[in-house]
Amino acid sequence: MGSKLVDVYWNLHKCKYSIRDCYTGKVFDHRRSLVLKDAKFNVQKGGRQRVLSMGKKNVHAHVRGEYYTSTPLQLVLDTPNLEFREITYDPYWHSSFVYRHTVGEEDQEPVYETPWVILETKQINAIKSKAHVLGASPTWPM
C-alpha cells in the first residue's frame, strides 16, 4: 500500500477537493472525499492578506499529508483513543485552521496537525456542496 505526500484544498469551482502532488505541484485528482495520514494544516499569510484586501478568495490554505488510495475509512474510524472533531477555516475569521466548537467563535482553538484527517463533501442543495473536515484528536476535552 504505497503513499504519496500531497496538498489538498477545496476547489470552489468543482465543489470537490483538489489533490496536488507535493513535489511536482501538479493537481492529479479531484475527489469528493479522502483520508490523509499525519496531516498538517497550512495557511499562507500572503494569500490570506490578498483575500482580506481584495475580498476575493484564492488558493492559500491546504492540508498536507500522506495519501493512500486504498485506506479504508472504517480502519481510520476504529483507531483506538481517537475522537474526530470538526475542523474549519475561514480567512475572514481565522488566521489558521481551527477546531469548530458549538460555544462560539472566541472559543475556537487553532489546529496545526492531526494523526488522521477525513475530508468529505457535504451537499447543501441540488447544485451546491461544501467542504467538511474531521480531524483526529487524542486529547478531546471531556
Q: Tell me the pTM.
A: 0.82
Least confident of 2-16, 24-38, 90-104, 111-125: 90-104
CB 52 within 8 A of CB 92: yes
DSSP 8-state secondary structure symbol assigned to residue 126: S
Higher pLDDT, 61 or 104: 61
At 19-56, the pLDDT tens digits run: 999 999 999 999 988 899 999 999 989 888 888 888 87
C-alpha grid cell, residue 98: 481551527
Average pLDDT, the chain: 82
Question: Which residue blocks in the chain are alpha helix, DSSP H?
Answer: 45-54, 73-77
pLDDT band (50, 70, 90) for residue 126: low
Q: Where are the domains of the chain?
A: 4-137
CB 9 within 8 A of CB 19: no
Which segments of 44-112 are extended strands (E)? 61-67, 83-88, 98-99
Contacts of 29 (CB under 8 A, 6+ apart): 18, 19
Write the single-letter amino acid at 107: D
